[in-house]
Chains A and B, each alone.
Chain A
Amino acid sequence: MNNYRIGLWIGVALVALASLAPLGLNDYQQSFLLQVFLVIALAQAWNLISGMTGYVSFGHAAFFGVGAYASALLLTWGFPWWLAVLKSAGIAALLAVPLGFLTLRLRGPYFAIAMLGLNEVGRIVATLWVSVTHGGTGLTLSPELLPSLDVKYFTMFGLALGATLLVAWIHRSRFGLELRAIREDEEAAEMVGVNTTLNKVIAFVLSALIPGAVGAVYVMYTSYINPSSAFEHARNIEMIVVVLFGGSGTVWGPIIGAGTVMVLREMLWAQFPAAHLAALGVLLLVVVLYLPGGLVSILRDRQRSRPDARSGESP
């Protein structure tokens, strides 16, 4: 069996497990899984732009915040939850179009720097636009507007699965090949006829769509949103560390990274958020310096070193 088939079977098994999980879990455990899916979906979104093209976004949590606010408002205006999710995703993606054209004409570091401020700008706008967002007080959603935990669980699961399948599909498509060409050598990619800016913008918009939807479901889960919880800097950190730790630009990396980081957080440092983030910082340094391929690369190397291992890239 080659790596691709192994991956496929593991994937099917995980999907089956996650679908059956609500039957045997209490609310706390189900909520924990929901958060794991949240991190997986966000990580895949980041993976899509930053892992694939090498353009590091330090502000992707902004799209999450936009989605969360959009959804909170849509719900209070009486839209059904599923429409709120779809529209919030659409709004985040629409916002990404001009932003993408503006920032992605620029080469790597400029993009990274421009994105670094985006989350802050989101927070400032949410704080100042009091007539819509109620400023620092935030928006509280009454319980009758919200779907049940099962619905939220499966929606978040669907988002994580959808984001993963999207990344997997792009990975094998011509589009994905072009994105990786941009990452490896943008000038050469341009030379052979890749429309680099358009490709980058499409990847960027797709990668904004997912956090928009995730934020929309998140606000249903917490039933409250304010500027600092919507545009939380820690969320950016988590996204980035999870992907790099697992293996950036791969399909499985964000899943493995999210699983590991979330279990560590729950077991070791749930009580100390500052220690959790400091640990993520250390993890990031270690990965960047000593394990640039992430956990996935360890598994892959082991596969490669087996004499009977077939060649062929594992997803």
Chain B
Amino acid sequence: MELLEPEILLQLLIGGLLAGALYALLACGLNLIFGVMRVINLAHAELMLIGAFGAYVLFHIFGLHPLASLLIVVPAIFFVGYYLQRFLIERVVGRPMLTSLLATYGLSIILINLGLLLFSADFKSIPALQGSFLIDELAVSKPRATAGLISLLLTVGVYQFLERTRLGKAIRAVSEHAQVAAICGIDVRQIRMLTFGMAAAMAGAAGVMLSVIYSFWPGSGVDFIQKCFAIIIIGGMGNFVGAFYGGILLGVVEAFVGGFISTQWAEAAAYLLLVTVLLIRPTGLKGVARA
């Protein structure tokens, strides 16, 4: 079968890795929030779409290139996240899991429908990057390559920040044990706001990246949030590195399912992967911070 030729397999693999990097950026933020706050943010994909629509508005009104708009959109969404935490999520931290699930669910419904009121249900796209890079026999589409590489850089950057800086250490400390962290003099409330801001900014960046690859509408988040959940369960809830590997894995699996079966079944791949992992190892492949 022609599909089994090495060039095609390599092509699928590269496509999968690039798509996976975008998932990883989104899912790592989600897991960061879960790790620090024990809150599952159901509105995470909508934060991503704020980024996508931000880039859309900047492109079509001011003619700003999406890559340049990262510099505006990402800080802006950091503040959106920071104040969401301050005024909304802070109230549900420490309450039963269901309370925070329902609160963020409410937030996501509000954001989706505000999006529909503002932008209608039409698909939007940004025709800024087009064409492909040709390397020997391989063709890699420019938007996908750019988005994948930038996502990878950002995720690794955040990881380095968490590992190497004092603030990153404080975030990890709160994630480990909030009370002990507080005793050590860490302002836990402030850390939570920064964390949510940071995770929101990651989602926003993912949104800008998304906007150069796909067309999107205010309801696009549903597919992504589901994939993210599959990823964080596969990678272990609260585990940043696990989410990264989970994201890459899902990207690759989707690419191969899409290549060999059909792209529509690729959409269901995340769910099948999720169910399989739940069957075999209910706590995820990389162990888990207890939910």
Which residues of A are in contact with B by a Cβ distance under 8 Å? 54, 56, 58, 102-103, 105-110, 112-114, 116-117, 120-121, 124, 127-128, 233, 237, 240, 244, 272, 274-275, 277-278, 280-285, 288-289, 292
Contact = CB atoms under 8 A, between A and B. Distances in A.
A105 B282 CA distance: 9
A110 B225 contact: no
Nearest to A272: B117
Contacts of A105: 282
Given A109-B40, A116-B226, A280 B109 contact: yes
Contacts of A103: 278
Contacts of A278: 109-110, 113-114, 117
A281 B110 contact: yes
A226 to B, nearest CB: 16
Interface in B104-129: 105-110, 112-114, 116-117
Interface residues of B, number: 44
B264 A285 contact: no
Interface in B131-161: none
Given A127-B264, A275-B117, 4 more contacts: A117-B271, A233-B222, A240-B105, A281-B109
B102 A277 contact: no
Given A124-B268, A288-B102, A237 B109 contact: yes
B105 A274 contact: no
Chain B interface, DSSP helix/strand/loop, else mixed: helix
B40 A113 contact: yes
Contacts, number: 107
B213 interface: no
Contacts of B117: 272, 274-275, 278
Nearest to B117: A274
Given A102-B275, A105-B282, A112 B101 contact: yes
B92 interface: yes
Interface string B64-85: 0000000000000000000000
A280 B270 CA distance: 29
A202 to B, nearest CB: 21
Given A110-B291, A128-B265, A117 B106 contact: no
- Residue of A102, A124, A275, A278 most packed against chain B (CB within 10 A): A278
A233 B103 CA distance: 17
A58 B105 contact: yes
A103 B275 CA distance: 9
A281 B98 contact: no
Contacts of A56: 98, 101-102
